[in-house]
Amino acid sequence: MKRKPIVAIVGRPNVGKSTFVNRLVGSRNSIVDDLPGVTRDRIYFDVEWQNKVFTCIDTGGIIPGDEDEIMLSIFDQAKIACEEADKIIFLVDGKTGINPVDYDIANILRQTDKQVFLAVNKLDNPNSQYMTSDFYSLALGEPIGISALHGSGGVGDLLELVTKDFEILENLEEDNTIKIAIVGRPNAGKSSIVNSLLNEDRVIVSNISGTTRDSIDSRINYKDKEFVIVDTAGIRKKSKVDWGVEKFAVDRAIRSIRDCDVAVLVIDATEGISDQDKKISSIITEAGKGLIVAINKWDLIEDKKSNTINQFDKKLANNIPFLDFAPKIYISAVTKQRLNQIFEKSVEVYEQCTKRVSTGLLNKIINEAYTLNPPQSVKNKRLKILYSTQINVQPPTFIIFANNADLLKDHYKRYLENKLREAFGFFGTPIRISVRERKDKKS
């Protein structure tokens, strides 16, 4: 597929960058809040404007020279975005007027060889368009007044200018990438894993809990296979999640699980398995997603012996028994030990998630399982399995037609699931089995 042009949105904190991106994309993809610095990492979205498709980068608010650790990281992220971008939209706040920080950012942007468009935001009143004149002093060309909140003003004019030389993309090839969501508790090392996989500081990494607030997509090629890696906010217990930005971030992380092909549950090897790890794994399995359990920080485990991994496997089996089907990998984001197994296992798990079984073979296995271990009768009524078929993938979903749906109990479903795994694998994916009642013609 031909590479889409990239447009970076930059500006100081709280000028409405995320609101502008949401206007372009048509949904609330970026977290919007009145707190400066809410968007900390660079976040990528595809935008379509008049049959022209481009990638938009939402960046954290820049304050040049700020010594705060997070603000310095935001500044670095914005600089990387500008290096990646083909064009840059510099957003300023028309309501509050020109700010000294705007001059600092403008000085930086004038040093780039990229085309820069100056957009004066928050001109929500049509009569306020005259307020753009002060921004000529930034020496970045003609200011364009817009209202990201209402989509009025010169939003259309701005996009017309930005996309003027973009090609109209028709009949885009289907994207066959595998989307991997990196999920887990805060400080389990998710962002460090992403950065190590990408070999760049793509996501802000800090010891401060909750550094990653948005779910952030990154595209990467590994052994001629395309992947999208999604770094997500740490999912804490609901009782500990603050209302507002953190709640939105957790909601976004859960949505990323629902949107992915394979979820990598990151567990901190130094802290062991927690109740929250169990809850997150339940979210993944309930969403029907492929699952890999990645035990991170394995380099920090001292006195490792030949059976240390086996012992940890047993702990996982005891604490989260319903994850027996998921592959476990023992990794280190710092030393990159076994890190590429994330890609290799994801390919394997994706193949299992999308596997289809022929109806004839499926019925053979189900009938053999039934004959080997028929369910007990209930009130002199015995379950008869008449017919089975697979109706879907991701996850593999099966319907069993039986004489009486109430007679197929949960424990017998688990037995049939185990038999399906023995016969067909389905390693790394949940399985769905539902029952439909149909009268036995012989009865």
pLDDT of residue 175: 57
pLDDT of residue 427: 94
Residue range 188-210: average pLDDT?
A: 67
Locate tokens 């921004």: which residue? 135
- Least confident residue range of 59-73, 258-272, 281-295: 59-73
pLDDT of residue 376: 83
Residue range 22-49: average pLDDT?
A: 58
Long-range contacts of 129-137 (CB under 8 A, 24+ apart): 129/153, 131/94, 131/95, 131/97, 132/94, 134/97, 134/98, 135/92, 135/94, 135/98, 135/102, 137/98
In terms of DSSP bridges, do strands 397-402 and 385-392 run parallel, antiparallel, or are they unpaired? antiparallel
Residue range 193-213: average pLDDT?
A: 59
Helix (H, G, I), strand (E, B) or coil at 267: strand
Query: CA quadruple 367, 369, 373, 378: dihedral positive or negative?
Result: negative
**Does 331 score more than 60 pLDDT?**
yes
pLDDT of residue 441: 55
Give the whole-number percent of the chain exceeding pLDDT 90: 32
Residue range 240-264: average pLDDT?
A: 65
The structure's pTM equals 0.60
Mean pLDDT of the chain: 80
More confident residue, 345 or 405: 345
Separation of alpha carbons 130 and 133, rounded Å? 6
Q: How many Cα atoms sit within 13 Å of 265 on the Cβ side? A: 27
**Number of CB atoms found within 10 A of residue 72's CB:** 15
**Does 34 score more than 70 pLDDT?**
no
Per-residue pLDDT band at 231 (split at 50, 70, 90) = confident
**Does 58 score more than 80 pLDDT?**
no
Residue range 139-163: average pLDDT?
A: 86
